[in-house]
Chains A and B, each alone.
Chain A
Amino acid sequence: MTNGRTSNQALPLPAWGIRLESRKVDSETGAIKKMPPPGELIVALKQNIGVPAETIVQPGERVLKGQPIAIASRWGLSVAVHAPTSGAVMAIEERPIPVAGGGTGESVIIEPDGKEERYAGYVAQMNSKRLPPPQIRNEIMEAGIVGMGGALFPTATKLNPGSGIQALILNGVECEPYISADNALLTERSDQVLRGAAIMLAALDCDECLVAVKADMAEAQAAVQAAIDALGDDRISLVVVPAFYPAGGERQLIELITGKEVQAGGLPWDVGVVCQNVGTAAAVAKFFDEGEPLISRIVTVTGDGVGTAANIEVMIGTPIVDLVEFAGGYTDDAAGLVMGGPMMGFSLPHDQLPVTKATNCILVAGQAELDPSVREMPCIRCGECARVCPAALMPQQLLALARGPDYEALESQGLQDCIQCGCCDYVCPSYIPLTSRFIEAKQGLWENHLVSQRSALALRRFDARGERLERRESDRSDELQRQVDEIGPAGEIDADALRQLKQRVKSKKPGDKT
């Protein structure tokens, strides 16, 4: 699919998306800083899509750096969680965790002892690339590795697509402003990323890997190219992606690179592609090279509200308050706290929350970096939102439909295909919070599905009961007849409501997803 493409080739500009000021300079320049263990680590048990890991340690127990403290649950998609450093387990309790909309999660509280004593259960495996794919996947699962671009999807699962994978795309695009964690990683540790790529290629039984880097990240591009040349692995090449937001979205990146669309409800596998974040590849290499599971990550701490913006390698579980302190503390200007970038990141209500495997950026926004409160105006149908929508939706029409809300039309016009990138909000001259409306509407659509599923169920039950009653009637058994008469009036009311329901369900065309 990418045959004949020489490395370092720039891709054509996308028909969607927006150009955003990158604002990466401050955290880009300095080297990656390493933060020492904080006073307390809050290690959440659910740091993956699916179900939380199950603890295997007790309060009071001493743990070593890299020691598993919770193992993958058998009840669903799940990955292990490890102690980020050596110390004592103080408690296992519910703590607030950084998720959109807020929430708490069971967490292992560790008090580091500062000794950084390593767990000896994992050993480096220098022949990793020759291991059979299932074993590579097991090791990656064991290492607690999940998609570190923020998706938190268990990596081992994503590396198990069956046959027919033509390319592994390593996503180092980082299209959101401010975030430069992947950029710093590529600039300083491209060799590690490529070693991870080689292991992933082995797991996938695939021999093409494209490392995608954004056009305005020249240093990272040079570093990747140098590492490729040094490695001499001609399966791996660099691909430069236009500096557009959201070019780093999985489906958008696949479209840009391969020209193929992943169908709604489908997976990148369907078009012969697997996408992994570059940080994830580095984590894989770290485990196979050094026997260190996923216990730390690089976080961009940035914004006018923080002393010195920097990329900081930090233990999973480090409270954000300590992380900000390490970055020079809050400035007087600090006005907002966001995990992730300004486009898709979510507000954090306070800083007593831990870094998780998904934390790529902590943005401490200054007053001027947040948009002043703006008054929403009616949609003037200018069409800018549709022009930039990477899913080729017409947000202005979805907006009108969401007002109803007309769930059937919302569904047929692609509400479910909205990736919540926020581009439409960004360009809207009427300052309509379109993305929020769509998230609400999706929630409503989902609930509506449940209701219609329930009513379909009720309808089936009603039909069955009707049949039973008919049969009984035909029996002309006096006793049963009396019973039927008795429930008649009540049944009447029920029947009316249900008949309407039946009408509604029938009026839906076959093939509708409802």
Chain B
Amino acid sequence: MKFASNAAPHWLGAESVAVLMRQVLYALVPALIVLVWFFGAGIILNILVAAVVALGSEALVLRIRKRPVGLFISDYSALVTAVLLAMSLPPLTPWWITATGTVFAIVFAKHLYGGLGYNVFNPAMVGYAVLLVSFPEDMAAWPLPRNITPDQQTLSLFTVLQYWATGSVPADVTVDALSAATPLNSVKGQLGMMRTMPEIVGDPLFGNLAGHGWEWINAATALGGGWLLYRRIIRWQIPTAMLAGLLAPALVFYIVDPATHPSPAFHLLSGGTMLGIFFIATDPVSAAASNRGRLIYGLGIGIITYVIRNWGAYPDGIAFAVLLMNLAVPVIDRYTRPRIYGHGA
């Protein structure tokens, strides 16, 4: 009897890239639900725009690059990039802004570097950074979260759609309902105006720990992240190190001067902290390769995030922290190579 020949090993045990990416998308669902609860359906519109643009531009570039479109489109990586970007943007973002960011993420950050596996920078964060620099006002404009004040004006779906399509609102909608500051933004602004933390956190915007709504969004994001850890789709090194990198300075400065420094809990549960820790910094392609390298990489992101939040020009520093550490990856990789078995000690 004759048999076909195969190279060893004859068993493969891993789930495919597509399956991993799909799990990442599932893990984002709790955060998405809470986001929609507090900030309305706008985030869904962001996701739709980003997804369509991401898949469309990915297909187009793959065709131009003469790569198998079907194979790569079905790996879900473009979709993950799109959803991560969309969930980082304010819920009320005119479609062209989302689309611009997505094109930068997919075409420039991903495919100009060689496509899946070759991008040096985290694509979603490239898209986000480009938007942050190009549309600073729109990127800072978050609607008021649900139930913050009793007489709060809620935006009708029609208003949301109108803003999404045209970038402007009917005259009877107050700007406040549309563009409040996020807690991170607000802290930065008010500290700049010499108010102290105890005064600032008295605002209803601040909720219990880290901003009304935000604490729940971050908790839900962490839930999804925990599931990814449990499923071993991400490993503990980067999240733990980033957490430590952010919390350690936050704790030190909070102890030294609580009047002008938000608490560690605030840093932990506000803004995009959990999204950054579990979903952004853990993107393997643009992260350091070895375990030791990943500890350094995560630590770096955490520290830089704190530095930017505290002293930088932007209220949340995660995107730039990630991009900066992406830049450091070759150096980290070079100096953290594990000792090979049988060589030395």
- Mutual binders A and B: yes
Q: Which residues of A line the B interface, CB within 8 A? A: 18, 20, 177, 251, 255, 261-266, 321, 330, 334-338, 340, 342-351, 365, 370-371, 374-375, 377-384, 386-387, 390-394, 396-397, 413-414, 417, 420, 422, 425-431, 433, 435-436
How many Å lie between the Cα of A381 and that of B337 in the bound state? 14
Which residue from A321, A394, A420 sits with its C-beta under 8 Å from B337?
Answer: A394
Given A334-B1, A383-B290, A425-B12; A435-B342 close (CB under 8 Å)? no
Binding site for A on B (CB under 8 A): 1-17, 19-20, 71, 75, 77, 115-118, 235, 284-285, 287, 289-291, 294, 333, 337-343, 345
Q: Contact: A382 with B337, CB < 8 Å? A: no
Known: A265-B342, A342-B9. 12 other contacts (CB 8 A): A336-B6, A337-B1, A347-B4, A351-B3, A371-B10, A378-B117, A380-B285, A381-B285, A383-B294, A384-B14, A394-B338, A425-B12
Top-4 shortest CB links A-B: A422-B9, A378-B117, A347-B5, A264-B342
Assess whether B11 is in contact with A347, with CB atoms less than 8 Å apart.
no
- Verify B2–A386 contact, CB threshold 8 A: no
Q: Is the CB of B341 within 8 A of A380?
A: no
Tell me whether B10 and A345 are in contact (CB under 8 A): yes
Are A251 and B11 in contact (CB-based, < 8 A)? no
11 contacts between A and B (CB under 8 A): A261-B342, A321-B1, A342-B9, A347-B10, A374-B12, A377-B116, A381-B117, A384-B14, A394-B290, A394-B337, A426-B12
Q: Is the CB of A392 within 8 A of B339?
A: yes
Majority-rule SS of A interface residues: loop
The reply to whether A379 and B291 contact each other, CB–CB distance below 8 Å, is no
Contact B343 A414 (CB under 8 A): yes
Report yes or no: A391 in contact with B17, Cβ–Cβ below 8 A.
no
- A381–B1 contact, CB under 8 A? no
Please, how many angstroms separate the alpha-carbon atoms of A337 and B4 in the complex? 8
Determine how close the nearest CB of chain B comes to the CB of A139; give it in whole angstroms. 33
B297 CB to nearest chain A CB (Å): 11
Q: A374 and B8: CB pair below 8 A?
A: no
Residues of A within 8 A of B17 (CB): 377, 380, 429-430
Q: How far is it, in angstroms, between the C-alpha of A36 and the C-alpha of B328 when the chains are bound?
A: 67
Whether B289 lies near A381 (C-beta < 8 A) is yes
Given contact pairs A383-B284, A384-B14, A435 touches B8 in the complex (Cβ within 8 A): yes
Is B2's CB under 8 angstroms from A342's CB? no
Q: When the two chains form their complex, are residues A336 and B10 in contact, meaning their CB atoms are under 8 A apart?
A: yes
B289 touches A330 (CB 8 A): no
Bound CA–CA A396/B12 (angstroms): 17
* B77: nearest chain-A partner, CB-CB: A380
- Given the contacts A394-B290, A414-B340, A417-B340, A350 and B14 also touching, CB distance less than 8 Å: no
In the assembled complex, which residues on chain A have CB atoms less than 8 Å from the CB atom of B5? 347-349
**Residues on the B chain within 8 Å of A266, using CB:** 342
